[in-house]
Amino acid sequence: MSEKHWIAGINAVSAALQHDAEHVREVLVEAGAKNPRIAEIESQARRLEIDVRRVATQAIDGVTGGLRHQGVVARYAAAKTYGEAELPALVEAAEGRALVLILDGVQDPHNLGACLRSAAAAGVTAVVIPKDKSVQVNATVRKTSAGAADSIPVIPVTNLARTMRDLQQLGVWLYGLAGEATASIYALDLRGNVGLVLGGEGDGLRRLTRENCDQLVQIPMPGGGHVESLNVSVATGVTLFEAVRQRGLAAG
């Protein structure tokens, strides 16, 4: 895909240069910027023979549409995009230890970016999001994810319920987070092929999504409340790193 857009902010631009420099077309730096990290970005871009221009703040404001940019942006040709047909190969390549994150209808780009950041840190196999009723990977998501949006496979799918059934056919067990569930996430065995399914802000999991989970579970909260009361990115981090913990114990 050759779609071009702007990514903004020190972390996002730095991550793009580090992980996917071949898709960075040019870097704009605020004239007079004193931040040493911006100077590092400028030096790195020049070493990679990427065009760097020092411009007025207004020029950067113009290309970012008001997004907070910290004095540096990059014109970016999107990294490799993944289609639904590539999901089976990703699962098979994980050799029985696939960890798939399924996000059902996250609307806030900051939440999706934070989820992707946790997913990258946890070493997920893929992140699945629906193409409708969900925010897609945009400039805000890229900035919030601190580069994770370009370092892990994010797969938008047309029919989430069908994709979930396909994953089950591949031997992936799907566990959905729901406040009314009685089983605890900590009682599960998360060491094999696992898909963790979390709903969007407010409404949680949609009906069809619930019905296609193998089991609904909850994050125990001694203080009361439901899983929906946790920010989805917080719940994602808690859930993913329980899987990481169990896999680390098994490896040890």
> 33-91 pLDDT, tens per residue?
889 999 999 999 999 999 999 999 888 988 887 778 899 999 877 666 788 999 999 99
233 or 252, which is more confident = 233
Separation of alpha carbons 179 and 197, rounded Å: 13
Fold of the 84-251 domain: Alpha/beta knot (3.40.1280)
Spans of all domains in the chain: 4-77, 84-251
- Laid out side by side, the sheet with 51-55 consists of 4-8, 72-77, 24-30, 51-55
When the candidates are 1.10.3720.10, 3.60.21.10, 3.30.1330.30, 3.40.50.2300, the CATH number that belongs to 4-77 is 3.30.1330.30
Give residue for tokens 């996430």: 185
Whether residue 228 has pLDDT greater than 70:
no
Q: Do domains 4-77 and 84-251 have the same CATH topology?
A: no
pTM: 0.75
Cα 14 from chain centroid?
Answer: 17
Q: What is the pLDDT of residue 2?
A: 40
